A and B are shown apart, each in its own frame.
Chain A
Amino acid sequence: MNAHKLLAISLLLLLALPTISYTLTAFAQQQVGGASESITYTRVVLDQVGEAFRAGQIDAYIFGLRASQLDQFQGVQNIRFIASPAGLLSLIVNPAPVKTVNLSGDWSKKSLDDIAKAIGYPKEVISQVYYDPDKGVTFVDLAADGQNINPFALKEVRWALNFIIDRDYIVNNILRGYGAPMTTFLSYYDPSYIFISDLVAKSGIGYNPAYARQLVEKALTKVGATLVDGKWYYAGKPIQVIFIIRTEDERRDVGDLIASELERLGFVVNRQYLPFGQALAIVYDTDPKELKWHLYTEGWGKGALERYDVGTPAQMCAPWFGYMPGWQTEGYWWYRNDTIDELTQKLYFGKFTSYDDYVQTYRKVTEMCIQESVRLWIATRMDIHVVRADMQGITTDFGAGLRSPFNLKGMFTPAKKDITIGHLWVYTTRTIWNIYGGFTDVYSVDIERATYDPLTWRDPFNGEPIPIRVKYTVYTAGPNGTLTVPSDAIIWDASQGRWVNVAPGTKAVSVIKYDMSLFIGKKWHHGVTITWGDILAAWALWFDLVYNTTKASFESSIAGVNKPFFDTIKGLRIVPENNTLEVYVDYWHFDPNYIADYAALTPINPAELLVLQHVIVFDMQKYSLSTTTAAAKNLPTLNLVLKDHATDLANLAQKLLSAGYFPAKYFTTPKGSFMTPDEWRARLQAFINWVNTHGHAWISQGPYYLDSFDDKAQKAVIKAFRDPSYPFAPDFWVRGTASAASLTIPAAPTIIVGNATSFTVNVIPPTVTKLGRTSVLTGGIRVQFIIKDVQTNAVIYVGEAKLLTAGATLLTYQITIPAEVTSRMAPYSTYQIQVLAFSEAVVVPAFATVTVQAQPNPAAIIGQQIAPVQQQVTEITQRMQELEKSLASLREQFGTIGQQIGQQVATALEGLSKLMQEQAGATRSIADLVGNLSSQVTTLGSTVDKLRSSVDSLSSSVNKVSSDVEDLRSEVSSLRDTVNSLSSLNTYVIILTVLVVISIIMNIVLLLRPRK
């Protein structure tokens, strides 16, 4: 009996447990602060992540895995992959000449023929003409000089390379689908792609080796190279190119693929497989003109999601930025393009004057950059993050994936309150935690992001700046006008070391009024109330770092980078009555959110912590803030999470406390002070207590506080900050999962050569599902279509669709293909129509593709068939005319004979003319007949068309079914492989363990046996 009772009770308890834990989680959801009770960050090396999930050791892995590292998850249950764009692969081509001829004077404006005559080389080999006004010399670069050749100095050959890169293969096989093909510096994962997608399509770049061969043949034959047995020769030697292939990652496979294609084009490829250091030493540290390399597989990290990108064109195409061959190194040969330089600087330094100006400049530079082909893009690479399948509160962040602060703050699982996140490292030498010179690596940032709330951040779906812990209004007189800064606005005077009123008559372009209610009166992690003193100190200490000459020269790398920003800050105005901070700034953008984001300076650490850092670095020179100064001055870099550094700061606080030091200047404006000495002392004491309790000095204001940090054990713990004054519940951070728009083509269009065709497409706008609720984002949708000739892979038209009807959940667009386009199509040729729907709300576009066969025009067919009849008719008419003519002459002859006989002859003639009329009637009836025939042919044609389209759709569905079956089959076989490999591994391990155990036992037995 008793046993039964116990069993029943324990069963009941077991049943109740999930409910209790669920209630607890639900409760946690109501509270403010982080969604989980605590998050432990721990180190897990890359090849043990699968095992760590299997053993339940971690609940998420936040370091970006590559597709090739996913094999270890075979058979691991209950996990989910989250992929986000992380980097891109490109190919840099060396366009350096084999010879440069100098001409005195400016020849850059003269024609190539003149220059060719002057230098005595054919104009086809001239690859670049550059006039140096300082030296008064024009440098004429030659791609080939009779002895040597660099085929890639020729723009046409570089352009041809675009067509030998099989980007789809690379994405599907080498990146295993975790990527997106790129034909320019943006892919459809970039919000700004919407501005250039038609240009990209029009460029027609795609895998087309036959076309590439054609282009190369044309270009190389022109400069005197010859193709013998499929190999290119110049001056009797095979043309050889050096291809530097990086070995560490997927770039090895990509490099091999492209190298093979180059060989097929007829080049001798010298493949050099090199790691980081050696590869860079050749590519960046040799003059491009030495031609120690021709091609190099580059890899790039990807920045944050940016709705209006300004930096990428400069980084990827502009010589001035230093990433193009020549690298802006004195004494090297430089690739030059002044127009690209000018346009990219306009974008990069924000000199555009309107939205249209921005878009036009961006488009222009993209077009030029694609044409120049000095850098060829291959693919966007995704980072893959792993989470438990039951993890909730996940936001789709198209920029940062799981690393997004929305995820770190909002993520939880109903199964447990305390979760563990694996990372490759928790601490490395470059993991610096200080806001001035640190947070340059992912390991510090990925924890820090959970511990502080920024004023503004980026929309996870489209990269638009959005307010987080602030509300703001923006007033601007830009781009050309100015506002007057009020005379009671203040500015930091670094020479006097105090806040002063702005000079009378100070002007600024824009003002942002930040409502700081979500800061003032709330608490820092150590319990101290956030005041205006904190906000003033945050600004004052930054101003001081940049403008105080002693500080600026000590930390020159930080001051130099930040000075341009603070130069644009014209004044601050504090309005404590309504918690408003006004920032007057010389900055303009057509999107006001960008202005607000630009001038937002988030108070991340309390005032006393900032002051202590400045004292220990600048006054005591015991530490540096940046690793650069650390290296130059042989000092440790101040790292707030390291125990000894924190203890040093706490000791300093103690010393300041006993010395009665009070830095009133940072908190005192001409209107009065925002900090009392008592409050200051209390703050220092609170700081000391924090360091004593937690062993580190990281104090901030976000939903999690840093509880402990162990650099040696590679472990950090953050805990939920449940102070009732904290403004946000965990739900706030859940922005939901966004699904891209989807696109359907209800009926395949019929294209008749020479006729305009229109058809409709349906767009389901992107949706966001947040905590079980789905909402639709209808705004800003653009539908574009691209028509490609399937045989030649050439793009023949790019157009934009027109909105027909806009419903709440369905938008219908009309696509019209003009007659001018269809008349260029060949009858019975196949064309692919690719339709893309872009949305401003969610970056990833929707795709749909339909393939159609162009039909000949029925009128034309009929025309062909009735042509012989028409010919006959014409002939008969001609003959009749001849007859008439002879009749007329007869009449004349008869007229001369006399009137008497005339009567009789006239009767006879009348009979003849009757006959002729009858003949004409016959002709008319033939025409009727033909008309009848043609209408019948038309109906026949349309019936045939209908039949064909239904056959098409039938065959496409058959294809789909068969491809599904194929997929299924491959899945089954891969499953079987997995099972096989797993079981063989198991046997292996068991056999080995048995062997080892036997040998150990043997040894022990032998040991214990008494000696005879």
Chain B
Amino acid sequence: MGVGTIIIRRAIFLTIALIIAVFLTAIIIGATGYADSVIKAIINEEVRAYRQSLSRMPGVNETYVNKLVGEYERTLIEAYGLNKPWIYRIIPLAISTLTFRFGEVSASATSVFDVAGVQPPATASDVIVVCLPRTIVMVTIAELITILLAMVIAPRIAFKVGSLADRLAVAYAAIMNAIPIWWLALIMIFVFSYRLGIAPQQFRGVIRALDNLALAYSKGDMVGIFTGFLNVLQYAWLPILTIVIVLLGPWIYSVRAVLLRIVREDFVTAAEARGLPREVVYRRYILRPTLSPIITSALLALAGTLGGYIITESVFDWPGMGTLYYAAIQSGDPATILSLTYVLTLVYVIARFILEVLYVALDPRVRL
């Protein structure tokens, strides 16, 4: 089989997986009645509030009140789409989502609008487009910094197994593996924001900062871009620092483990025995074979960051993708749930596809 055929077969397989993922989600939220029951509960609550607002009206009677409440309920049921069975709402929605025509966010999903900070009516793509950059500047960038740091630090300790530095790094990795990011986030906020006062106390302002940055970018205003960037950084440094501190340990540890395995291979020993300089051994004999597992985990991790961290985001009051996903599920909004599933699966699938191509390019064995 040629390289092209392998790649095309992979592509087809991944595309099918993507379609299945979206349909499965649609069926899960539709057939189980989950979305309907959440929306029904929201309608009930709104109808209850409406009825309560009808107090103190002389000259009316029960019939009038019930008529009003009934009309109100019907309007809501229609507006929130509950007048049609799920199969006519959610399945067409899944199909249109697959063709990048994301649906309208239901007006009942106020928490989705709250997270995104946009006014209804809006489509799922509107809310995703505003939430994605927030997650990128916090989680993705932090992950990227972590990976780069790990790549630099890990080789230095991998060659000195058992040294103090190595043992410290392993201990650090173990501790950080046990600490949840959101917990450290709380501590960091209390220390840096409130006690030391060098970080912001209210991180939600990052929305405004990102807006300003985008505005400056669209205008091509270089000074605006620079100050906007600084402004975003002012909000982002503490979350990034927090994530890096926690993730760095496990990352160093795993890169070190991958390196250690290769360092002990026979061909490395042979190369060293041949008296090749360490630099050359490292670059030619160690780095190249380790690159493919490291790139695999790096790429998948980066793709995974786009889903955001739900709890950490909520601690920093940082309305990113994780919070959006949570809000969408909580308010049973099919359009947002499907679009998010689709987008995040798509990113993952693309990452996988790139990896497939890279494997073929990096590792000759795959081609055989």
Contact = CB atoms under 8 A, between A and B. Distances in A.
B70 to A, nearest CB: 9
B17 interface: no
A686 interface: no
Given A627-B107, A1006-B156, A635 B121 contact: yes
Nearest to B121: A634
Given A276-B41, A281-B37, A556-B71, A350 B58 contact: yes
B15 interface: no
A636 B120 CA distance: 6
B272 interface: no
A375 interface: no
Interface stretch (B89-97, B203-211, B335-343): B203-211
A303 B184 CA distance: 41
Given A42-B202, A561-B53, A632 B75 contact: yes
A277 B80 contact: no
Q: What is the size category of the interface that chain B forms with chain A?
A: 35 or more
A348 B120 contact: no
Which residue, B58, B208, B330, has most C-beta atoms of chain A within 10 A?
B58
B40 interface: yes
Contact of A1002 (B60, B168, B202): B168
Contacts of B79: 628, 631-632
A989 B119 contact: no
B152 A1007 contact: yes
Q: What is the size category of the interface that chain A forms with chain B?
A: 35 or more
Interface stretch (A230-238, A563-571, A855-863): A563-571
Interface stretch (B5-13, B109-117, B221-229): B109-117
A612 B245 CA distance: 54
Interface string B160-175: 0000010011001001
Contacts of B184: 992
A425 B50 CA distance: 23
B364 interface: no
A277 B191 contact: no
Contacts of B64: 564
A311 B68 CA distance: 17
Interface in A450-483: none
Interface in B298-344: 317, 330, 332
B273 interface: no
B168 A345 contact: no
Contacts of A44: 201-202
Contacts of A564: 57-60, 64
A349 B58 contact: yes
A54 B317 contact: no
B218 interface: no
Contacts of A1007: 152-153, 156
B126 interface: no
B51 interface: yes
Interface string A577-620: 00000000011000000000010000000000000000000000
A661 interface: no
A556 B71 CA distance: 9
Interface stretch (A689-697, A710-718, A733-741): A710-718
B38 interface: yes
B298 to A, nearest CB: 18
A298 to B, nearest CB: 11
B345 to A, nearest CB: 26
A429 B57 contact: no
Contact of A642 (B119, B211, B317): B119
B353 interface: no
Contacts of B51: 321-322
A561 B57 CA distance: 9
Contacts of B168: 998-999, 1002
Nearest to B316: A45
Contacts of A43: 202, 204, 317
A28 B40 CA distance: 52
Interface string B17-38: 0000000000000000000011
Contact of B61 (A51, A276, A345): A345
B56 A1006 contact: no
Interface string A371-382: 000000000000
B190 interface: yes
B156 A1009 contact: yes
A631 B120 contact: yes
B245 A712 contact: no
Given A52-B201, A564-B57, A1007-B153, A999 B120 contact: no
B16 interface: no
Contacts of B45: 280
B194 A51 contact: yes
A998 B62 CA distance: 72
A634 B62 CA distance: 31
Contacts of A636: 119-121
Given A276-B41, A999-B172, A429 B114 contact: yes
A973 B57 CA distance: 55
A557 B194 contact: no
B368 interface: no
B99 interface: no
A876 interface: no
A565 to B, nearest CB: 6
Interface in B235-263: 245, 248-249
B157 interface: yes
A631 B107 CA distance: 5
Which residue, B78, B108, B153, B204, has most C-beta atoms of chain A within 10 A?
B204
Which residue, A341, A430, A639, has most C-beta atoms of chain B within 10 A?
A430
A996 B245 contact: yes
Contacts of A276: 41
Contacts of B120: 429, 627, 630-631, 636-637
B276 interface: no
A832 interface: no
Nearest to B314: A45
Interface in A354-380: none
B166 to A, nearest CB: 10
Given A328-B66, A995-B175, A1002-B165, A630 B204 contact: no
Nearest to B211: A712
Interface in A788-802: none
A277 B75 contact: no
A995 B171 CA distance: 11
Interface string A636-654: 1101001000000000000
Interface string A65-84: 00000000000000000000
Which residue, A303, A560, A1012, has most C-beta atoms of chain B within 10 A?
A560
A278 B61 CA distance: 33
A993 interface: yes
B61 A637 contact: no
A57 interface: yes
Given A57-B201, A630-B121, A277 B149 contact: no
A285 interface: yes
A277 B36 CA distance: 10
Q: Which 8 A-B pairs have the closest CB atoms?
A: A631-B107, A631-B79, A429-B113, A564-B57, A280-B41, A51-B194, A712-B208, A277-B41
24 contacts: A43-B204, A55-B193, A277-B37, A277-B41, A281-B37, A281-B41, A310-B55, A310-B56, A321-B51, A322-B51, A349-B59, A428-B110, A556-B75, A557-B50, A561-B68, A564-B58, A631-B79, A631-B80, A634-B104, A713-B204, A989-B187, A995-B172, A1002-B165, A1006-B165
Interface of B: 37-38, 40-42, 44-45, 48-62, 64, 66, 68-69, 71-72, 75-76, 78-80, 104, 107-108, 110, 113-114, 117, 119-121, 149, 152-153, 156-157, 165, 168-169, 172, 175, 184, 187, 189-191, 193-195, 197, 201-202, 204-205, 207-208, 211, 245, 248-249, 278, 317, 330, 332
Given A281-B40, A636-B119, 12 more contacts: A277-B42, A285-B41, A348-B56, A350-B58, A564-B57, A564-B64, A632-B75, A634-B121, A712-B117, A713-B204, A995-B175, A1002-B172
